Structure 1
């Protein structure tokens, strides 16, 4: 083979190789159409590169932790033992042998729930001893003890509570206390460092770190204590355990941006996520409780799907892909109905603030009180509309809601049952409902003259017992049990504490 033939073969081989490489490259590019182009930056990274955005750049938690920990307190509560009426009578096995009711009290006497103790955390928000914590930390407690990080202890008294948002305000008699400065929870960003401070697992004051992992989260936990829950949690991965409830969530400037309230866990202990009430909601609730004794909660009067609107419903209603809150209903008499908003509309903004989910809308509305005028932006038939809405209270008006006791809400004349009536009807005591007026009891169909002997099986002997049982009752509905003097048998009435 001469040199010319060799060069020809080499040339053909090289050409074939180049064609093969070029062809393979084209095939790969066509197959993987999402291959990123070198040097091209997506819009979501605008302003990111070149701004020293290292996640660990200049992060130091010591100053924030040192400033905040003196203002986070340990709350210990005690609930006295309760006697529960035994509604399921048992046969006395010694009745035939000894006769009479010698052992009836042993087998059919009231049961006793032993004294209970619990603990949580709280945040001092004023130098004269106002403390914010969770409602579920102090709910039903007979005694509240507050211990500061310097080991000084005080007796705490409840100023007011709001089960809907799970917030309570407690007061101690002290002056010159350290307190936390409010931050702005609207400024919290995904990925931002945060610190959780509290007293988990009965330990001394403890600081944990994490990031904001989500905002405007609703986990339906407040439905356990309110028929009108307000949930728009800041979700973090800072370690939070039982005992952290009511403690502080702060940013790296040491500012309070949330009150730790719940954890997501299959075991009841920390398993990755915790939830804090945004401080912008906390401020409104605390201010109302201090000023009015109860929260002045505003309602916009919109029903919306808890899980968002399905694709099927979108197709049925002809709704395009618009982020917002789908309106299922606007009850007559409500604020939204009066403003002309109706079923099928999609709310996109509250006072100019974009809302894409129900919890985001609830969070924005929760910052206002009845009588406040806000703007609501919504879409209908592809067109954007903005209307002014005057918010209302639950009663459908703009009046200031008074802080009525639970007994006032019952709407009845009550008194301790006469000893003769109690003896004649074989009861240890009870509360006589003399006259039913306008209030919660009217909806139960209870009649005048009824004697309440237990609430959720907790024995009731006096009006004070009734007040304590209703105040500490869990859930929105309780069971009243009692008798009509002179008539046989016991009667039960379900009572909705939410007034439904």
Structure 2
């Protein structure tokens, strides 16, 4: 019978051998000096994924701009090769950024889906903590569904479905890969919250849309309603009628915002948007995509004992 520790070691060794070549040590020029972290090759044509806070200036300095004044940074790989990189785009509100190498890169890592994760599942963090290239740590998924607040100027957003892990993370791991036993990247390490507590932005359907937008346009466009909301219980008869227990209560509505102009009010309980049920602020946030900018949306709300339909036209979120 195989010793369990040997089996565990074999999994970590296989992950390290498969994914480490695609993970770079990253140095990037930012307005505050030189940023450092990790990045992961995820396409055959030299695109790399990292954290927005590592590149810092990515939202202001696109790949085309970097090309005029020199590369934005340098990616060094575990095999000793290196390549200058340009920042193609960064999205501080998801803490994700895309780079492109000017030279050759190793074979890409395979992106997975964090939606398949389970608490207690083995995960491996691959990155460059404290500048130590090609470092590997292992642990488990400690929790799922965590939230991580992000900011871009005065705009604040919450990243949903964040992965919590006890795999050791240190400064420099940001932008590196969180990997499952089948060698799929399911998270982008982004925060060291304390001893034995690290956080990673999930790789999922939302992430893939963000990466596609960054690769195509260098930025992510989002819709804006102008509300602050919280999860709230539905009255019993509504819970029975709609088959769920919660909706989204509007705690605040900005008067001059799309929501305010449409006639939404604080204390309205939102049940659905464009026919899609909403039970948490995250559900509402996920619907505010590029596709909904300028498009009339029907919101069904519970107001003073009655169901009311309100038509709202979201505008594009401006980062200030």
TM-score tier, shorter chain, comes to: 0.7 to 0.9
SS at match of 2:316: coil
Counterpart mapping for 1:7-406 below 5 A: 60-78=11-29, 116-140=33-57, 143-175=72-104, 177-220=106-149, 222-223=150-151, 227-232=155-160, 233-265=162-194, 271-280=195-204, 281-305=206-230, 322-331=245-254, 342-347=265-270, 356-359=279-282, 361-363=284-286, 365=288, 370=293, 391-394=314-317
Could you tell which deviates more after superposition, 147-156 or 336-345? 336-345
How much has 1:372 moved relative to structure 2? 6.5
SS at match of 1:296: coil
How many residue pairs align between the two structures?
294
Could you tell which deviates more after superposition, 291-300 or 360-369? 360-369
SS at match of 1:223: strand
CA separation in 1, counterparts of 2:141 and 2:301?
29
CA separation in 2, counterparts of 1:374 and 1:182?
33
CA separation in 1, counterparts of 2:222 and 2:276?
19
Q: Report the CA distance shift for 1:381/1:177 in structure 2 as closer, same or farther (over 3 A).
A: farther
Q: Is the 8 A contact 1:304 1:358 kept in 2?
A: yes
Q: Is the 8 A contact 2:30 2:55 kept in 1?
A: no
Q: Is the 8 A contact 1:231 1:362 kept in 2?
A: no
Tell me what 2:65 maps to. none
Q: Report the CA distance shift for 1:135/1:186 in structure 2 as closer, same or farther (over 3 A).
A: same
**Structure 1: runs of 5+ lacking an equivalent:** 1-54, 83-115, 266-270, 396-497
Q: Report the CA distance shift for 1:332/1:76 in structure 2 as closer, same or farther (over 3 A).
A: same
Q: Is the 8 A contact 1:231 1:363 kept in 2?
A: no
Structure with more of its chain in strand, by fraction: 2
How much has 1:153 moved relative to structure 2? 1.0
CA separation in 2, counterparts of 1:63 and 1:242?
25
Q: Report the CA distance shift for 1:356/1:262 in structure 2 as closer, same or farther (over 3 A).
A: farther
Q: Report the CA distance shift for 1:176/1:78 in structure 2 as closer, same or farther (over 3 A).
A: closer
CA separation in 2, counterparts of 1:187 and 1:374?
31
Q: Report the CA distance shift for 1:394/1:253 in structure 2 as closer, same or farther (over 3 A).
A: same
**Structure 2: runs of 5+ lacking an equivalent:** 59-70
SS at match of 1:288: helix
Q: Is the 8 A contact 2:26 2:75 kept in 1?
A: yes
Q: Is the 8 A contact 1:71 1:180 kept in 2?
A: yes
Alpha-carbon deviations, 1:313-366, whole Å to 9, x = none?
x99xxx999434321234467565677754324446667877654345434545
Q: Report the CA distance shift for 1:177/1:356 in structure 2 as closer, same or farther (over 3 A).
A: same
How much has 1:297 moved relative to structure 2? 1.4
Q: Report the CA distance shift for 1:357/1:239 in structure 2 as closer, same or farther (over 3 A).
A: farther
Q: Is the 8 A contact 2:111 2:184 kept in 1?
A: yes
SS at match of 2:111: coil
Q: Report the CA distance shift for 1:358/1:225 in structure 2 as closer, same or farther (over 3 A).
A: same
